[in-house]
Structure 1
Amino acid sequence: MKNYLNQPTLKLILLLFITFCLTSSLWAQKQKPNVLLLLVDDLKPTLGIYGDPTAHSPNIDQLAAKGITFKHAYCNQAVCMASRYNLMLGARSTSTGIYNFGTQFREVYPDAVTLPQYFMNAGYHVEAMGKVYHVGHGNSNDIASWSVPHHEEKVVEYILPESTSRQLTREEAFFQNSKMFIEDLPSNKLLPRGAAWECTDVLDEAYADGRIARHAINRLRILSKDPEQPFFLAVGFARPHLPFCVPKKYWDMYDPAELPMPEFEDFPEDSPECSHKRRGEITQFKPIPENEEGIYPNSLKRKLIHGYYASMSYMDAQLGKVVEELERLGLDDNTIIVLWGDHGWHLGDHGIWTKHTNFEQATRIPIVFVAPGVTKAGTSTEQLAETVDIYTTLADLAGLDKPNGPQPIDGASLVPVLKDSNARVKDHIYHSFIKMGYLGEAIRTEQYRMVRWTNIKDATKEVLYELYDYENDPNETQNLAAKNLLKVKELEEMLNSHPKAKTNP
């Protein structure tokens, strides 16, 4: 048989084949979706999309109008450091044993593959700016998580000299990992307290979140120049974390007389002492009473609530600038956007301020997904979701294999819900907190929360329980555990279906 393919023809065919393979490879790479992860510190669902009539949150509301909002989303622990580890590791604190400040997760899981690392291993360029990991209080950033060095900004920041007495303040020192754990200076108590708020007529970039938005915009412009390189960009905003230092125009958005005040300021009837909180983080700031555990005067409560809402609106404006630039660059058609608050915040309910509890206001968070071609614009879901679900969901959305550690992976993929808001992938979420030597493990269903408090230092002490019915008692006025033992038992069986909680890493 004659060979009708001469050498030049064979070379041409081979060249065309190689070109086809390279083109197909580049096309496949180009089709990988980008990821924009928006992390917000201390953000509870005080947002228009969650039905808050007071909130001025137009940019987050517009973002949610493009995707799906999880109405019942919860953190896995209501404290910054642990919650961010829950997100980045896809693992609950009860699985890792990491609850407290000062523990680096790589001391426990040296070879852990974090969420951004997982994407980096899949060929993504990954980077972060602002508050992503909790840097401070004895914790540091994870260098291995990023393609380029993390772009750091301040969490505690002042402009006015009178806010600081012209000295390093307690919280500034904590976030700088300065003077902490040094003998004879316990918890930085010898340092002055900084102001709880500032209201100054300055530009947005006078404070950190404005500069973070500017940096994110600059990075998006650079990343957009290489459309064949997918990126994972984590942008962390500090407000509405204390101190409430934001430009005056955001304070002016609210009439103090019309702000919502706490409805129920007592602890729940029959609730255990280990579930209670007074003072804590908020007393690090002046003029908060430092050594008193009573209910604050209305004037102070109103000022703090005003500051929280103003700070939320300031953050919302900065976040909006980043999303607007993403759209202007034409990146939104191939970029998954996730909005996540690291935990909730008490605004005087139960007489509590800040977080660090297992109650609803400390644990409920906003989660919004915008996934082109997957989510339907302007939808919402009643599906329960928790922080650890984000890792698994993002991997699924990007077409990556299901994450498998080596750290525990606790999250479920929410993609079926992103496609159909009526779909269900779980019937409860699991969160925890340690207080007064007790580990409080909580199961939250659509209607109930059951908390089991176990003394982790003395096994002979009685196990304590809480049960709240949110359909009939949304303000958690009464612990029903002793009155509804059957429901406690049912929810405890859900709790026991999870691996036994670790308490020591």
Structure 2
Amino acid sequence: MKHTILALTTLLASAAAIQAAERPNVLLICVDDLKPLLGCYGSPLVQSPNIDRLATRGVLFERAFCNQAVCAPSRNSLMTGLRPQTIGIYDLPTNFRKGIPDAVTVAQYFRGHGYRTEAMGKIMHVGHGNYEDEASWTVPHWRPKGGGYQLLESTATTRPARVGGPRGAATECADVPDTAYADGMIADEAIARLRAAQAQPGEPFLIAVGFLKPHLPFVAPKKYWDLYQRSAFEPPQRQTPPADAPSYAPTTWGELRQYSDVPETGPLSADEQRQLIHGYHAAVSYLDAQLGRVLDALDQTGLARNTIIVLWGDHGWHLGDHGMWCKHTNYEQAARIPLIVAGPGVTQVGVKTGILAETVDIYPTLCELAGLPRPEGLDGASFAAVLKDPQAATKEAVFHVYPRNQLMGRAVRTARYRLVEWKKIGDPADTAELELYDYETDPEETQNLAASQPEVVARLRAILAKQPEAKPPVRAVGGQKGQKTRRGVSSAKPKQDRAAMFARRDKDGDGKLTREEFLIGQPDPDEAPSRFPRFDTDKDSTLSREEFINAGKPKH
């Protein structure tokens, strides 16, 4: 009897080992601020041979979108399969578990099903008071040490940042090896992890590799800058927001203005724009080379034969279009992302699909591809069928959000249109201000069509109405582990000396603030523009000292 039990135990253990070995591995490549400005997406200038090479191995999604165009909420959606409006977190400092303490991340779920889960670089947003998720990883998350600016001149002049230390230049071109910067170090670590995984064939893995570039500052070794001629870059033709768009809908690109060599107010010159566009391209090519090293290691170890690869950008980036820079909007350049999925036997090879996909769809898709049960309660839907049939029917629309001051902009994007509904959370639908764009007739978003196409608006609002109302924002007081959370309430602020604030902003000493003067040094540069017209009670397009101090409140 004992021999029978022993034999049965051995058989079951062997079967479990075989099953584990047959499960596909997952290599999840997360890239910060990478828009679909890539050769495989049709860009004629950018040099991205390794991402292009990955696209030939799988399926490229031409209509993939993030769920909020800023780092932390977007990454929360990737890891939890829940949209920001479900979690209730729309900012950088608040950890996702403040809104959904019992959430099971995709890495945590795979870990619970026998996978070894590892992460390096930027996966969750760490910083601004936010932190990594220990429950997701089998071994502690790894971050590179150093890897920032390499030239003293880049930090010779700095500018105080709203959060974190002073900022130096927005770009840097240094004649240094790839491993001098953080992404080279991250690639080294990823290669080491893949080689270690090769020695453990009985244990499937989910390895998440988070590259930092092309996030600001645009730093890259000189050889990647040398791939481009500055004269080849032209600033976008349209330098103004869409006609008839709400004044608060565009970004004022406060993130970029924190860098020491960027004007604090006003537009950028053509040369300044070319420098930034050149820097973004150089950073993309540098990132691409590091990804190429990781893909080479995957092939050399033989792990590629049983590994699903996902390349995902957390959101897009405005490169001067509409006079905007950075992300932080609901517009196409901020919301559209690169998404490529490749894996032997699970995808077609070298094809593109125009079906709609959003970040929250990646979690359930990976579960289906790995043969794991689909978790309950996710917002996303698997697109696994599309990987075999790029024309397979999926969803009619995807959804994303962006907050502005007290307003929430909820967006619905179909294959042709985007509708954005701006209102306070919980307010009636008829209080909303609307934006509508038609990407067949107006791909550059030059005109808000909401007023002229009521039938389209009604159809899209009906789709949006099926979605739950966005949750009020959950904010952690102080943002650190173990601290209390308030819903819809930010941490207490010290009393402001608004008279002194006025004097600091009144650069020309004329006793009035222009809109540009008002926006200098604002801690919330994307929300601040919506306050200016509210403070301007006499509607003369400037703020008197009294108007600024009263902050829009009636005179007493």
TM-score (norm 1): 0.90
* 1:104/1:140 contact within 8 Å kept: yes
C-alpha contact 2:128 2:163 (8 A) present in aligned 1: no
Choose from 160, 163, 167 the match for 1:193: 167
Partner of 1:158: 149
Per-residue CA deviation, residues 393-424 of structure 1 (Å, 9 max, x unaligned), is 001110001112xxx51000001101100102
Which shifted more, 103-112 or 352-361? 103-112
Deviation at 1:433, TM superposition (A): 0.2
Q: Tell me by how many angstroms 1:12 deviates.
A: 7.4
* Greater Cα shift, 451-460 or 334-343: 451-460
* CA drift at 1:452: 0.4
Q: Secondary structure of the residue that 1:39 maps to in structure 2?
A: strand
| 1:314-329 to 2 correspondences below 5 Å | 314-329=286-301
Residue 166 of structure 1: CA displacement? 8.3
Instruction: Give the conservation status (yes or no) of the 8 Å contact 2:80–2:103.
Output: yes
Residues 154 and 443 of structure 1, relative CA distance in 2, 3 Å threshold: farther
Alignment of 1:108 with 2:82, yes or no, is: no
Q: Deviation string for 1:297-355 (max 9, x for gaps)?
A: 00000000000000000000001100110010000011010000000000000100000
Q: 1:228 aligned to 2:196?
A: no
Give the equivalent residue in structure 2 for 1:6: none
Q: Give the whole-Å Cα distance in 2 for the aligned partners of 1:154 and 1:311.
A: 19
> 361, 368, 379: which is aligned to 2:340?
368
Q: Does structure 2 retain, via aligned residues, the 8 Å contact 1:345–1:362?
A: yes
TM superposition shift of 1:500: 1.7
Partner of 1:448: 417
Q: Distance in 1 between matches of 2:349 and 2:168?
A: 43
User: C-alpha distance in 1, partners of 2:369/2:429?
Assistant: 47
Asked if the contact 1:37/1:232 (under 8 Å) is kept, the reply is yes
Comparing 327-336 with 98-107, which one deviates more in the overlay? Answer: 98-107
- Alpha-carbon deviation of 1:13? 6.9
Among 391, 401, 404, the residue aligned to 1:422: 391
Contact 1:455-1:461 within 8 A present in 2 as well: no
With over 3 angstroms needed to count, the CA separation of the structure-2 counterparts of 1:28 and 1:483, relative to structure 1, is same
Q: CA deviation at 1:23?
A: 2.4
Give matches, 1:87-486, under 5 Å: 87-153=78-144, 157-165=148-156, 170=160, 187-188=162-163, 192-290=166-264, 292=265, 294-404=266-376, 408-456=377-425, 462-486=431-455
Quickly say closer, same or farther: Cα 1:258–1:116, change in 2 above 3 A.
same
Contact 1:165 1:192 in 2 (8 A): no
Instruction: Say if 1:197 and 1:307, in contact at 8 Å, map to a contact too.
Output: yes
SS at match of 1:357: coil
Of the structure 1 ranges 206-215 and 428-437, higher mean CA displacement relative to structure 2 is found in 428-437
Q: Deviation of residue 279 (structure 1)?
A: 3.4
Identity value in percent: 51
RMSD: 1.9
CA distance in 2, matches of 1:488, 1:154: 50
The residue identity in structure 1 corresponding to 2:86 is S
- Residue in structure 2 matched with residue 59 of structure 1 by the alignment: 50
State the AA in 1 paired with 2:316: G
**Residue pair 1:155, 1:238 contacting (<8 A) in 2 also:** no
CA deviation profile, 1:72-118 (whole Å, cap 9, x unmatched): 00000000011000111110011111101221111222221111000
Q: Which residue of 1 aligns with 2:463?
A: 494
Note closer, same or farther for the CA distance 1:18–1:139 as it changes in structure 2 (3 Å cut). closer
Tell me, in whole angstroms, the C-alpha distance in 2 between the residues paired with 1:457 and 1:14. 62
Alignment match, 1:3:
none
1:39 aligns with 2:11: no
Q: Answer whether contact 1:467 1:481 (CA < 8 A) is retained.
A: yes
Deviations 1:53-78 (A, max 9, x none): 11100000001100000000000000
Of residues 344-353 and 455-464 in structure 1, the stretch that sits farther from structure 2 once superposed is 455-464
Q: Is the 8 A contact 2:147 2:180 kept in 1?
A: no
The residue type paired with residue 409 of structure 1 is L
Shift of 1:461: 9.2
Which whole-Å deviations, capped at 9, do the CAs of 1:468-492 have from their partners, x for residues lacking one?
Answer: 0111111100000000011001000
The whole-number CA distance in structure 1 between the counterparts of 2:314 and 2:113 is 26
Provide, for residues 444-500 of structure 1, a one-character-per-residue CA deviation record: whole Å limited to 9, x for no partner: 111110000003497799410000011111110000000001100100000011112
Distance in 2, matches of 1:154 and 1:363, equals 31
Paired amino acid for 1:368: I
Q: CA deviation at 1:156?
A: 7.8
Amino acid at match of 1:310: A
Instruction: Kindly provide the amino acid, as one letter, of the partner of residue 85 in structure 2.
Output: T
The answer on whether the counterparts of 1:428 and 1:444 sit within 8 Å (CA) in structure 2 is yes
Q: Which moved more, 1:278-287 or 1:360-369?
A: 278-287
The aligned amino acid for 2:132 is: N
Query: Which letter maps to 1:86?
Result: S
Show the counterpart of 2:544: none
What does residue range 16-27 of structure 1 map to in structure 2 within 5 Å?
17-27=8-18
Q: In the aligned structure 1, how far is the partner of 2:435 from the partner of 2:68?
A: 17
Contact 1:198/1:246, CA 8 A, preserved across alignment: yes
For 2:147 and 2:329, the matched residues in 1 are separated by: 22
The SS at the match of 1:275 is: coil
2:505 corresponding residue in structure 1: none
User: C-alpha displacement at 1:135, in angstroms?
Assistant: 0.6
The 1:364–1:460 alpha-carbon spacing in structure 2 relative to 1, beyond 3 Å, is closer
Does structure 2 conserve the Cα–Cα contact (< 8 Å) formed by 1:170 and 1:194? no
SS class of match (2:54)? helix
Larger RCO (CA within 8 A; separation ≥ 6): 1
The 3 A distance-change label for structure 1 pair 345 and 156 is farther
Q: CA distance change for structure 1 residues 418 and 299 in 2, over 3 Å: closer, same or farther?
A: same
Q: What is aligned with 1:177? A: none
Structure 1: stretches of 5+ with no match in the other structure: 1-9, 172-186
**Cα offset, 1:286, TM superposition:** 2.1
CA contact (8 A) 2:21 2:203 kept: yes
Provide the rounded CA distance (Å) in 2 between the counterparts of 1:129 and 1:371: 21
Deviation, 1:18, is 4.7
Report the TM-score, using the length of structure 2 for normalisation: 0.82
Q: 1:13 to 1:43 in 2, by over 3 A?
A: same
Alpha-carbon distance in 2 for matches of 1:93, 1:253: 38
Alignment gaps of 5+ in structure 2:
475-556
Aligned to 2:538: none
- How many residues are aligned here? 474
Q: After superposition, what is the alpha-carbon deviation per residue over 1:246-266, rounded to whole angstroms, capped at 9, x for unaligned?
A: 100000001111124312111
Distance 2:466 2:286 in 1: 42
AA at the equivalent of 2:128: H
